[in-house]
Chain A
Amino acid sequence: MSQQAAEEKLPLSGIRVIDVATMIAAPYCACILGEFGAEVLKVEHPSGGDLCRNFGTATSRGDTLAWFSEARNKKSVTIDLHHPEGANLFKALVAKTDIVCENFRPGTLERWGLGWELLQEINPRLIMLRVSGYGQTGPYKDRPGFARIAHAVGGLAYVAGMPKGTPVTPGSTTLGDYLSGLYGCVGVLFALHYRDQTGKGQYIDTALYESVFRCTDELAPAYAMFGIVGERHGPHLGTACPYGHFPTKDGKWVAIACTTDKLFARLAESMGRPELASTSLYGEQKTRLENRHDVNEIVRDWCGSLSRDQILQRCHATGAPAGPLNNIADIFGDRQFHARRNLVAIDDEDLHETVIVPNVLPRLSKTPGRIKHLGPRLGQHTDEVLKELVGLSQEEIADLRARRII
């Protein structure tokens, strides 16, 4: 199949997205849409552009690695939306666009004369994703919000860490951004499905803290019904045992999760101590939870007596659920990551270097997504887009540029 035919086969081919957001939250939704064929125009402020260009480790071009990875497949178009002429250019683009992703503080776009009501008048089929720290409504809506704050407000940070110790970052500070991007993308695809059948557009209102809170399992019903306040359990879990992280003889860590009795029986077998899983000992979850200290001690002793590889080999032989606590160096050497092509090396022409980034998810059998290129230079596609979509001449573009509107 020719490249053009392959592109046309992508499920979102023909769909145009404007990503006027910053950092990772709403932009990650646009990123996924782009991986599956949508044309994504990243609209940025002419001086400096998206803050994500400064987030984390810088490359020789200045833009950071996070930018290169997460702005993949996007075209960069600079427009100053504070300026009335800039706002007009934006409206001209919106008229030819299916989806707008934004994550300003609520009210900002409205102040620039680019609120939902106005944009929808320009384009009644428009779908608009609005992500913000606290959502478009409610008493905190005007507060600044970042994923760090959302993890705290959404109840995730409180349950991460050692019992009574300082709550820790739940692994990564950007987690809530990705989660909101995912929920945003779900909303956009539902809205697109509805629009495909009715022609009607709509907006999606997602808050960072809500996306985090939605992933907290039984925390809310358990508090409402029994007054149980979920606390930090360190590496363990309140409702299953043994479940946690255990140090191995060679100074590494393994994760073990016996959520059912059957899985514990397999672990006992791996340990060469099947009797541990008898009902008179620790065969039942209830007994194990009552004696969690002893059970964890037994597992800890066993893990401490063998290397990580030995532990994993014995667990895999019986089907006991265990895995290594991979750091990124481990991941680069992991056979499963290689076999699934989870890491992909992209040669960036502009950077003159190869950047290794996480590959596209999810994996579709007939219409898989793809990475065409990594994050663009600021304004790399401004001229092209303003010529083709807005019909501006070279002179008009030069004039707008001289006046720093683009």
Chain B
Amino acid sequence: MEEEIAEATGKPLPLSGIRVIDVGTFLAGPYAASIMGEFGAEVLKVEYPVGGDPMRRFGIQATHGDATLAWLSEARNKRSVTIDLRRPKGVEIFIKLVSKSDVVIENFRPGTMEQWGLGWDVLSRDHPGLIMLRVSGYGQTGPYRRRPGFAHIAHAIGGLSYLAGFPGESPVVPGTAPLGDYMSSLYGVIGVMLALRHKAKTGEGQIIDIGIYEAVFRHLDELAAAYGMFGMVREREGAGSFVAVPHGHFRTKDEKWVAIACTTDRMFERLSDAMERPQLASGNLYGPQRKRLAARDEVNAIVSEWTLSLTRDELLERCIAREVPIGKVNSIADIFEDEHFRARGNLAEIEEEGVGKVVVPNVVPTLSETPGRISNLGPRLGNATYEVMRDILELSASEIAKLRQQKII
């Protein structure tokens, strides 16, 4: 293999030589392409010539340029190519581009690609090694497959939203709105890498089919098994958890919040020490988890009274000295101040032409020999159309000009 060395890290990129076409919109699927791009794949973002991916307009607009911050951050490392897939000539160009690529990522409503003449059968006819990642709200099969699906709906269908919030109150968003989009994309990358391995052995490509709701549902530990065996329906747990006490968020004297998680009895013993009330962890009081679960409200009240008597920093200091699992409930402002985020380089400051300085979450995960890197933020619409038409599809300047004039690209 010809190793491509990343300028930023001086180390090889594991996915160099792989070409990915990302024809999706928003995040579920396209984030899979972003991760692959971080590790060296060439990612071509195929967009509608007028306006492109609606994610360019979703959320908070950057001060300069015509893109939102979410676009700049999550369309990182991609190059934008405009093609109108609703027109036959556009379809023809797209098929040619696919024939020179390894992976296609799409997230239209099932049936849409087929309607345009771009279904699996067509795309794989002369390209049996093609790998196609298809992400949609409900997957390619089943009675709901045609319904529009977004992460918010997937969190609800998948059973996560029902669990977020206080008992008897309104269920809330489980943290961030696109969580399910990230999750389904991670499964997408895993599927693509497994498929690439199969292709290396056999030459055979395949389809990866993911419903966003499935990715959400896969992450609910014993929820299904406990209902299946005991008929237990888990309800909202507020700031706590059914598995352990104290395990939740607690208010501090300076009106901030800390998270404490005493998953085991030993952890509770350490907490009792930190509280200077070691007797709490005795066998006849709250030593065993079973007793703490039975006296959930009492235990939480005792911990809460203690946390309210100290500042967040004091609590952290005392707990960390005794190895109690504790953390600040960080706002984004706290995160920017946090020395650990700085030491790990979790915030990447990227200077982008025409936009200025943008701070985005850095690449995850960290690989020792072949780390990823951010080479550019979300591109301008069509910034690579000309190059791709000329270099990959080998069209002449006049052919490209004609296509552009006809608004096909």
Contact = CB atoms under 8 A, between A and B. Distances in A.
A binds B: yes
Range of interface residues on B (Cβ < 8 Å): 35 or more
Interface stretch (B144-152, B380-388, B393-401): B144-152
What are the 5 A-B residue pairs with the smallest beta carbon separation, nearest first?
A356-B228, A224-B359, A152-B259, A339-B142, A255-B156
A170 B190 contact: no
Contacts of B156: 245, 253-255, 323-326
A69 B366 CA distance: 28
A364 B155 contact: no
Contact of A214 (B188, B358, B361): B361
Interface in B155-173: 155-166, 169-173
A173 B245 CA distance: 12
A138 to B, nearest CB: 4
Contacts of A345: 228
A231 B39 CA distance: 32
B179 interface: yes
A224 B358 contact: yes
B232 interface: yes
A402 to B, nearest CB: 28
Interface string B209-246: 11101110111111111111110111111111111000
B360 A221 contact: yes
A156 B176 contact: yes
A328 B340 contact: no
Contacts of A355: 225, 228-229
Nearest to B251: A166
Given A56-B221, A228-B60, A327-B159, A186 B14 contact: no
Nearest to B32: A186
B251 A64 contact: no
B83 to A, nearest CB: 22
B359 A235 contact: no
A108 interface: no
9 contacts: A158-B331, A159-B176, A166-B257, A187-B365, A253-B156, A323-B156, A336-B142, A365-B208, A366-B205
A204 interface: yes
Range of interface residues on A (Cβ < 8 Å): 35 or more
A265 interface: no
Interface in B342-375: 343-344, 346-347, 349, 357-361, 364-370
Contacts of A233: 173
Contact of A220 (B149, B165, B224, B347): B347
Contacts of A186: 35, 186, 189-190, 193, 365
Interface in B248-293: 248-249, 251, 257-261, 263-264, 267
A343 B238 contact: no
B5 to A, nearest CB: 13
Given A56-B226, A166-B239, A167-B249, A189 B193 contact: yes
B60 A175 contact: no
Contacts of A356: 224-225, 227-229
Interface stretch (B42-50, B66-74, B86-94): B66-74
A220 B361 contact: yes
Given A168-B239, A257-B153, A326 B158 contact: yes
B229 A327 contact: no
A320 B147 CA distance: 8
A372 interface: no
B177 interface: yes
A120 to B, nearest CB: 10
A259 B53 CA distance: 13
A87 interface: no
A234 interface: yes
Given A221-B359, A362-B210, A257 B150 contact: yes
B328 interface: yes
B294 interface: no
Contacts of A222: 59-60, 69, 332
B55 to A, nearest CB: 10
Nearest to A337: B217
Contacts of B333: 223, 229
A210 interface: yes
A178 interface: yes
Contact of A65 (B58, B198, B229, B324): B229
B230 A173 contact: no
Contact of A151 (B175, B324, B338, B340): B175
Contacts of A173: 241, 243, 247, 261
B364 A171 contact: no
A171 B160 contact: yes
A135 B365 CA distance: 10
A335 B261 CA distance: 37
A123 interface: no
A264 interface: no
Nearest to A263: B148
A282 interface: no
Nearest to B156: A255
Contacts of A303: none
Nearest to B270: A144
A245 B174 CA distance: 12
